[in-house]
Chains A and B, each alone.
Chain A
Amino acid sequence: MSAPKVFRAERDGPTLVVTPLGSVSSLDAGTLQPEIDALLREIAADDLRSVVFDLAEVNYFGSLMLSAIHSVWKRLRPAQGKMAQGKMALCNVSDLGRDILRIARFDLLWPVYPSRQEAVDAVRPP
């Protein structure tokens, strides 16, 4: 696959750290879906139980980005045969980003931390 245009994915120990690189609205489905698929494959392949979305490089985002983050969150939910639910957190969210999460009510689902390290520490498996 060519260089990612939407998400940069890195591993911090057992945690997958995903950094959105910019707005997703300008991209077509042919660009966005393969990148979401790649994230989900990596989570499944290594049975990852912790994911952090670092929003340092996006000042604001809309429902398409929220849907993409939601897709990953769903993958971490308990499924048949899995022992424990995975954890997901967000970090480096701008003031407007926090407003957006609050309005969309996703602040009730995903904890937000001021820094990447705090988010990684919070979701790290025991």
Chain B
Amino acid sequence: MPTILVVDDSAVDRRLAGGLLARDADLAIRYAANGLEALDRMEEERPDLVLTDLVMPEMDGLELVGAVHHRYPGVPVILMTSQGSEEIAARALEQGAASYVPKRMLSRTLRATVQRVLAISGKKRARLLECMVSNQAAFLLANDGALIASLVAYLQDSLAQMGLCDESECMRTGVALEEALVNAMLHGNLEVSSGLRGESDEQYYALIARRSAESPYRDRRIRVDARFERHQAVFVVRDEGPGFNPLALPDPHDPVALERPAGRGILLMRAFMDEVHYNQIGNEVTLVKRRQAAKRPGE
């Protein structure tokens, strides 16, 4: 039976929302009076969904959304909003809230919204995803750092959904993917040498800014193909630059190279992925992440 944690500093509003949800016999309702108390409750018993007011003492709804997203990424949060707080609700959605329900429409929309969010998250979704045998996605990105960050988050979610790795390994894989994408953008498409980074930061960033705005560099794209299977995920990142020789990178064990920042990205890629291969001209890299073996108790 799914558990819903209702968080509101008003006892009347808590009971109102909880009472509406309790009409569904298959929901268990828990309560907390503010964000801090909610987090304490979640340590004792993890709910399947959090329904929270926005304005509360100690920790408000927006902060609670962030905290739950960080500590319990699989638990969706729905906000109850008062009139005039739509802008804050939009920010909360950007920070990871699953949905919001205006308080004046609680009786009409709350139950349906909760059921919808439960259906696409939590245990029901986990059961469905256990049935997935493969998943593919392809992206064509402009040279935009914000897109890279969003794509890495998406790919990490997909890894987690396929059960290929735990949270820790997902973070490591995210680091490797980010390095591959940033390399494709800066060194591939924009042809900004990492060697310049060690000589003059000012010139390095000035060149990035200049080439991001001029042809042909700004018109180049990064192609990302991701294939998720039961036993592994394969990512292919291709830029439209002239390529490079990965064997020509400085030896990280060379004391001189130690004092330069160049080449660290590929070190991280090789450390965090099971396989890393470049094509002949060096503008395409294939990264493979294999399913993590299940840890024994105590590990």
Contacts and interface: CB of A to CB of B under 8 A. Distances in A.
B265 A59 contact: no
B175 A70 contact: no
B173 to A, nearest CB: 11
Nearest to A108: B258
A80 interface: no
Select the residue from A59, A67, A99 with max chain B CB neighbours within 10 A: A67
Contacts of A62: 175, 178-179, 182, 265, 268
Interface string B194-211: 000100011001101100
Given A27-B145, A36-B201, A60 B259 contact: no
Interface string B154-176: 00000000000000100110110
Contact of A25 (B145, B171, B205): B145
A63 B182 contact: yes
B212 interface: yes
Interface string A28-49: 1110110011000000000000
B267 interface: yes
A96 B178 CA distance: 15
Contacts, number: 85
Select the residue from A29, A59, A103, A109 with max chain B CB neighbours within 10 A: A29
A25 B201 contact: no
A109 B197 CA distance: 18
Contacts of B181: 25
Contacts of B152: 25
Interface string A49-72: 000000000011111101100110
B295 to A, nearest CB: 15
B289 to A, nearest CB: 15
Given A59-B171, A63-B179, A29 B268 contact: no
A100 B212 CA distance: 29
A36 B172 CA distance: 26
A105 interface: yes
B265 A29 contact: no
A109 B259 contact: yes
Interface in A80-115: 96, 99-100, 103-106, 108-109
Given A60-B175, A96-B168, A100-B175, A71 B146 contact: no
Given A33-B206, A62-B265, 5 more contacts: A25-B152, A33-B202, A63-B261, A106-B264, A109-B258
Interface of A: 23, 25-30, 32-33, 36-37, 59-64, 66-67, 70-71, 96, 99-100, 103-106, 108-109
Q: Which 10 A-B pairs have the closest CB atoms?
A: A26-B149, A33-B205, A29-B208, A63-B265, A104-B264, A67-B261, A70-B261, A63-B264, A29-B205, A103-B271
